[in-house]
Structure 1
Amino acid sequence: MPLTDDIRDLIEHETTEAQQMLRQLVDALPKSVEAHLLLATSHLRRLEFGPTLTYYRETLALDPKNDEALRGIGFCLLATGDNEAALAAFRQAFKASSGAGALRFVALLCHRLGRIEEAIKAYELLLGSCQPTSSEIPFALQGLALALRDAGQPIAADHRMRQLIERFRRERILVASSLVNRNNSDDFHEWSPYADKARLAASLNARQAIDPAGRFPESFVLPRDRQALETFAKGSNAPPLYIVKPIRASGGQGISVTADLSQAIGRDDVVIQRYLDRPYLIEGRKGHCRIYCLVTSAEPLRAYVYSEGIVRIAPEPYDPSPQAAGGASMHVTNTALHLGHPGLSISQDANQDDTGSIRSLSALLRRMTADGLDGKKAFGEIKALVEWHVRLLAAEGLFARQAASAPSRAFPPKLFGLDVLIDDEGHPWLIEMQRTPAARGAPLVEKINGEMYVTCFQMTHFTLIDDATPEALTAELRSDDTARRRREAEQEFAARGKFVPLDL
């Protein structure tokens, strides 16, 4: 039986249902390569790398040269930090198919393993084998330029960087967005666990115990925190409503709001949080903000918050009374979950940033000020909340381990998202972290993200030496990596645009 793109869409939006259906399909069609690949994809969607590897390997048992499975195994091993095994897997994939994607990962992994000359040769082979219009060229040029800098060859690195900048000038949004999205996928493997709501909740709870400046709702991971939740629910500070979130779901899948914990408290696969029942309302509706943070260096730590963002608004008017609980269209603000709802209104004019179900952060802050709150103060508190979260990541050793694991330029800049809710007093609350925030969307989303991606590119892609560079500085940059790093930080800061440096 033919398998269609409808299944991939189901994986994206109804992952649990897709997995159940695909397991039945694999049982019914045990020799179907496509069924095994799709089942692997469904587990990869939730970053469940163990089952993903199992089904990719079952695919290879059926089709030993299957390119998607070979590269998928390499990606899973990379995502779990086994760089040596990942390199071997991508070498095997390249040997089987001579694919440019596999070769790019060979080069990247050689760089991360400190085999810089091998990385340079692999990147050069990749550039030599690609057609001039190949989408792999920007990644190869970026990787080669950074490997050459780590090899102490800044002049050669600048030559490759100029080629990349010239390509960027011809296709600004395409090149910039492609690099940001691919770099997010190829990040240090320890970013992945923070996409797990249980891991994130545990980290937030632990951090607040020693640094209470962060504001986020009380969170309980089941089954571990079941007794603590029962105690909390009986206390004087118990809320009228709770929000129940499947641990590995995304995009609003499976979320419910309830006043009665009797059914949810027996589950073993959810995070239960205090529901913030007094949000700031936009025309009577609840919304949340997507806030972006860019980490440009792990050691020394440098990070920024973007002063623009995206606000997504629920399609139905908000009613906080317990008897009204349970309506996802009122409580859950992920617009992708409400496609087709008559109350969902998405403007097709990218210049309209204060109308409909998707708006800009700046429009929200203006509206708050008009309503008697202080939008400027609210953004200051958002910045402080982002700083608190980055300090959490630093305290847990994420950046130190990344810096110790490989040459620093082997890791691209990291852009991640925080979902923030503003309460009716104008204070931001951290709800979730998005390791790889969605790039595409409505026209306003494309405009905001496109401008941000261009700035990300300009902050992190530049030459170190040009005709105007003084001779003494040129000599220093050619011989001293400390000088090169200082120059990188200076040019990054000068090109920051709407990115605001964090005080860490």
Structure 2
Amino acid sequence: MRECWQFASELLSSLLQFPFGRRLPCDIYWHGVSFHDNYIFSGQVNKFPGMTEMVRKVTLSRAVRTMQDLFPIEYNFYPRSWILPEEFPLFVAEVHMMKESDPSWKPTFIVKPDGGCQGDGIYLIKDPSDVRPAGSLQSRPAVVQEYICKPLLVDKLKFDIRLYVLLKSLEPLEIYIAKDGLSRFCTEPYQEPTLKNLHQVFMHLTNYSLNIHSGNFIHSDSVNTGSKRTFSSILCRLSSRGADVKKVWSDIISLVIKTIIALTPELKVYYQSDIPAGKPGPTCFQILGFDILLMKNLKPMLLEVNANPSMRIEHEQELSPGVFENVPSPVDEEVKVAVIRDTLRLVDPQKKKRKDIQ
């Protein structure tokens, strides 16, 4: 880990660095939220124009569903979904039709506000009539998806995977996937959803920002235990039970590539609008956070894509009621330092210069 920090420090010191607000040319511009600077004419920016809009829940759902219509087998990693409010009548009609054709089908659905984050506004329903009043949907569209009722459990808990993906270039399309990620756990033992437990967010929702407020959340000094672990530790456990972890990785890689392919056409439109060909401008790269759920049969399912995944390597810990302090998080450090280090290596603007000199 010390080598990671040393490399990052050395590389950063070799790049041009300026305080916020300076307009002098830089090698790398690192924006916090989105691509928003029209005064950058060279170098590299760590955001793509339009990425934040493209991975919002409604836009992502549209893009993936378009590919599902064209290639249903290749894109079967995304849950059946509908966009509210515009597709509410279709949602009602299709659920009614599926229940008629299969009376044993007892579905659960998860409603996700389009602009929501950190679990805000997400809720589970058993019937379309349970969708909250459409008036609020007019100002806050949502995606409703078929809930995955049979997730893979570890220690009787549901969890998801946060995987970090570097989109280095659109033309040519260049994608790098981190070798490790985070496994984020619920804090109550999982039970399949019923009318009585739909509201139990610590059982059904894997969002770290929700579960950290649970009394059962476990901060651990080990990457193999606790409420947040490395994905590699989960793969080791699966491998010890005879699971084909190479296939799991292969399926995840396929999911990532196909998702980015689905987003690429509109991303190119945004890119060409903000940085027209033939005019001076920066090149772009971006670290994305893919949230993936493993089903009981080890099939990966895409939950969502985050354009601005947190790179914090510490967490808030409550020392006493109302008193918090930031403490190091070994699992975040293990994964995220490597992501930043390798990203800087891959986009290092001095690399080409060194090769040219040689």
Partners of 1:244 and 1:257 within 8 A in 2: yes
Give the alignment's TM-score, normalised by structure 2: 0.77
Shift of 1:438: 0.9
Any gaps of 5 or more consecutive residues in structure 2? 1-17, 37-44, 315-328
Q: Secondary structure at the match of 2:22?
A: helix
Query: Are 1:254 and 2:121 matched, yes or no?
Result: yes
Which of 95, 98, 101 is the equivalent residue of 2:20? 101
Q: Which residue of 1 aligns with 2:319?
A: none
Partners of 1:241 and 1:258 within 8 A in 2: yes
Q: Give the share of equivalent positions with the same residue, in percent.
A: 24
Distance 1:183 1:320, change over 3 A: same
CA distance in 1, matches of 2:48, 2:206: 30
Shift of 1:337: 1.1
Poorly superposed stretches of 4+, deviation over 6 Å: 182-185
Q: Secondary structure at the match of 2:284?
A: coil
Partners of 2:159 and 2:186 within 8 A in 1: yes
Which of 186, 193, 200 is the equivalent residue of 2:60? 200
Shift of 1:194: 2.3
Shift of 1:242: 0.9
Partners of 2:81 and 2:146 within 8 A in 1: yes
Q: How does 1:106-185 map to 2 (within 5 A)?
A: 122-123=24-25, 140-142=26-28, 179=30
Partners of 1:374 and 1:426 within 8 A in 2: no
Give the alignment's TM-score, normalised by structure 1: 0.55
Query: Are 1:386 and 2:248 matched, yes or no?
Result: no
Shift of 1:261: 3.1
CA distance in 2, matches of 1:181, 1:305: 21
Which of 70, 73, 87 is the equivalent residue of 1:225? 87
Which of 329, 343, 348 is the equivalent residue of 1:456? 343
Deviations 1:385-435 (A, max 9, x none): 0011111122x2423652572468703321111110000000000010101
Instruction: Return the letter of the residue paired with 2:48.
Output: F
Partners of 2:251 and 2:299 within 8 A in 1: yes
Instruction: Return the letter of the residue paired with 1:247.
Output: D
Shift of 1:295: 1.3
CA distance in 1, matches of 2:236, 2:280: 40
Larger mean CA deviation between 399-408 and 270-279 belongs to 399-408
Instruction: Return the letter of the residue paired with 1:356.
Output: G
CA distance in 2, matches of 1:337, 1:369: 30
Q: Which residue of 1 aligns with 2:212?
A: 339
Which of 230, 238, 241 is the equivalent residue of 2:108? 241
CA distance in 2, matches of 1:183, 1:242: 31
Which of 174, 193, 199 is the equivalent residue of 1:326? 199
Distance 1:294 1:409, change over 3 A: farther
Deviations 1:305-345 (A, max 9, x none): 11211110000000104132221010011121123312111
Alignment: residue pair count: 300
More helix by share: 1
Distance 1:375 1:198, change over 3 A: same
Instruction: Return the letter of the residue paired with 2:53.
Output: P
CA distance in 1, matches of 2:157, 2:203: 7
More strand by share: 2
Shift of 1:218: 0.8
CA distance in 1, matches of 2:65, 2:148: 17
Instruction: Return the letter of the residue paired with 1:103.
Output: R
Larger radius of gyration: 1
Distance 1:228 1:372, change over 3 A: farther
Deviations 1:172-206 (A, max 9, x none): xxxxxxx4857878623211212421111111211
